[in-house]
Amino acid sequence: MADDATDPVPFQDAEAWLAARGVRRDPIRVPLTPPDAPTPADPPRRTDGAGPDAVDPSTLAEPAPSAPAEPVAATFVDSGSSVTGGGPAPGAREAGRLAGDALDEAVRRADERAARPDPSAPRLEDDVAEAVAFLRRSTAMAPQSESRLRTKLRERETPHAVVELALTQARRERLVDDAAMVGALVEERRRKGHAPARIRRDLRQRGFDEALLDAALAPAEQEDAEAAAYALAQEKAQRCTGLAPEAAFRRVAAHVVRRGYPEGLARKVAREAVFTARDAERTAGH
């Protein structure tokens, strides 16, 4: 019990207990930077005898200027919706995606408007129908060549595409058929006594192709021109027997020339035809 009476009183303070035993306790240093921030390296100490804790001022770096704060977008608009300061603004990636979607939608709507036909614009079908109706009227009284019909459509300032489509439809309806038309016209003119040269000239002026004329006139051009001209003159001379010989001669020769034969040939066959017709009349009178 005597030992217990001599023991010192238990310490009440850790600092006093350490001081009583001669233990020097370093003060607790509280770091000024956050725990997750990197600890700056200790600056180098001076070695010129200025003291152990002195810092070389030449090694101190100037503080970096603080970066300006980035402006915060107050409003973000996309396709009619807005985000104001009341809610968080979308990120850069999300904003780019929304802007791309809006652009795609605008392009799609523009394409739809372009593809939608304009009701006020004339349609190709209507123009072709109008051109075909014009061709029907043009060929109602007399057949015409495709070349002449094409020229008439162009004179009406009809577009090239409409002209070609209208002529294609006219061929289907047999409104135009140059080969058949040339054959029929050559045959008709030959029955009237027209010379091949005049037939060629007339049909060429009506726009028919030269190759078609060559094929249709080949048989007529191989005939004896003088014999054909004399047959024409003889027919006319028989209707002029009541006229004086010179008057009958002039009429017959002019008739042969109008049919397309050369004037020299026409005069020759006219004289023979008038003489033969009058001689036959005298013989029949006896």
d(CA 150, CA 27): 113
> What CA–CA distances, in Å, run from 53 to 10, 34, 47, 58, 134?
39, 24, 10, 15, 113
Report DSSP state, residue 81. Answer: E
Q: What pLDDT shows up at residue 101?
A: 82
> What number of CA atoms fall less than 13 Å from residue 182's CA on the CB side?
24
Q: Tell me which H or E stretch contains 23.
A: none
Contact 254, 232 (CB under 8 A): no
pLDDT, mean of each 10-residue run, the chain (286 residues): 50 65 63 55 53 52 50 44 49 80 82 65 85 94 91 94 95 94 94 95 94 95 94 94 93 97 96 88 62
Q: Point out which residues pair with 4 in neighbouring strands.
A: none
What is this structure's pTM? Answer: 0.52
Q: What pLDDT shows up at residue 105?
A: 84
Does residue 145 sit in helix, strand or coil? coil
d(CA 238, CA 273): 8
> What CA–CA distances, in Å, run from 87 to 18, 30, 46, 81?
58, 38, 54, 13
Q: What pLDDT shows up at residue 7?
A: 52
Q: What pLDDT shows up at residue 164?
A: 95
Report DSSP state, residue 38. Answer: P
d(CA 136, CA 173): 9
